[in-house]
């Protein structure tokens, strides 16, 4: 079995299924577990992701308006790897190479490969994606075991497998981008709920919307989580600093979180994100950095 994963969440799923040695290629953003860094990267971004948030958002919008892809896919290297399975996604063309682009390249570069397309919108979809990847890679039992284990952790995160939370659920807003501001949708409200919070903002499964600061304030959150998409903790700290006073005006508690590791990727570490959030929401401290 030879597997290529073209989004970080898929790489994390494959490794959690015990398939690390079967991986032969990855996207340029696949960085966990660290051992995958030695694999050849098959994608490259056309927009410089190190730009400040506001400029990066402008550049992404410009590239999308021009109609070209945000990512380039190395068809020659893909062909040389001769994969049996290619895992890609159709959830967000901004976050990773698109399914349409992968399917078109695969038709000529890897015609014998099975292309598995992930399209998660809710937390439950992520668990089903674990099973789908496992089935495509002929390890279905491992998929069932991993999905069940993740579900147990999610059930227990906020205080027990019966799903009952022994404290009032605080209102939690998750900021997914700072300039311009965006609220986190898709699976993130489900993660907040699993952690014992009451998500405010977009409905579970809905896309992440742009929002004004006034709209976020009107949600009246008890706590604000700042987890910009694709940013590690160091960059989150740096990008959030100019907005500190505004964020503190919304809620007495603000959490700066490594969204790239825990919330942005629809993979196994969402269970860890729920556990982290549950512990923070149950505490009494103010600002926290995790």
Measured distance CA(256)–CA(288) in Å, rounded = 6
How many CA atoms lie less than 13 Å away from 200 in the CB half-sphere? Answer: 19
Task: Band the pLDDT of 91: cuts 50, 70, 90.
Answer: confident
Can you give the length of the chain in residues?
290
Residue 123: its pLDDT value, please?
Answer: 97
Tell me how far apart the alpha carbons of residues 95 and 184 are, in angstroms, rounded to a whole number.
Answer: 14
Selected residue with higher pLDDT from 236 and 100: 236
Mean pLDDT of the chain: 91
Evaluate the CA torsion angle 96, 100, 103, 108 in order and state its sign: negative
pLDDT at 284: 58
The domains found in the chain, sorted by start residue, are 3-119 (3.40.50.1980), 171-289 (3.40.50.1980)
The whole-angstrom separation of Cα 35 and Cα 39 is 8
| DSSP string for residues in 79-90 | HHH--SEEEEE-
Residue 166 has pLDDT above 70, yes or no: no
Burial (CB count <10 Å: 0-12, 13-18, 19+), residue 216: buried
- H helix or E strand, kind and range, residue 18: none
Task: Work out the pLDDT band at 49, boundaries 50, 70, 90.
Answer: confident
pLDDT of residue 62: 84
Beta pairing partners, 205: none
**Residue whose structure tokens are 């027990």:** 160
pTM: 0.91
Pairing of strands 23-26, 3-5: parallel
Please check the confidence at residue 160 and state whether its pLDDT lies above 90.
Answer: no
pLDDT at 290: 44
């Amino acid at each position: 079995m030879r597997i290529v994963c073209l989004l970080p969440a898929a790489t994390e799923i494959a490794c959690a299924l015990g398939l690390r040695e079967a991986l032969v290629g990855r996207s340029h953003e696949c960085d966990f577990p660290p051992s995958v860094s030695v694999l050849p990267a098959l994608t490259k971004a056309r927009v410089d992701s190190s730009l400040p948030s506001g400029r990066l958002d402008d550049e992404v919008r410009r590239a999308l308006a021009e109609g070209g892809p945000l990512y380039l896919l190395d068809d020659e290297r893909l062909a040389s790897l001769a994969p049996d399975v290619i895992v890609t996604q159709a959830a967000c063309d901004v976050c990773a190479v698109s399914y349409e682009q992968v399917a078109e390249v695969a038709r000529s570069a890897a015609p014998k490969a099975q292309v598995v397309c992930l399209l998660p919108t809710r937390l439950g979809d992520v668990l089903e994606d674990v099973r789908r990847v496992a089935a495509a890679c002929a390890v279905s039992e491992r998929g069932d075991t991993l999905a069940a284990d993740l579900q147990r952790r999610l059930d227990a995160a906020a205080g027990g497998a019966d799903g009952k939370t022994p404290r009032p659920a605080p209102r939690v807003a998750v900021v997914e981008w700072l300039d311009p501001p965006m609220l986190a949708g898709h699976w993130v409200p489900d993660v907040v709920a699993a952690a014992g919070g009451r998500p405010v903002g977009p409905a579970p499964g809905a896309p992440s919307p742009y929002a004004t600061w006034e709209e976020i304030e009107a949600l009246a959150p008890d706590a604000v989580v700042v987890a910009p998409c694709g940013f590690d903790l160091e960059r989150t700290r740096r990008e959030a600093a100019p907005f500190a006073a505004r964020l503190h005006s919304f809620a007495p508690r603000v959490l700066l979180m490594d969204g790239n590791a825990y919330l942005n990727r629809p993979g196994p570490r969402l269970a860890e994100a729920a556990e982290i959030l549950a512990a923070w929401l149950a505490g009494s401290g103010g600002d926290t950095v995790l």
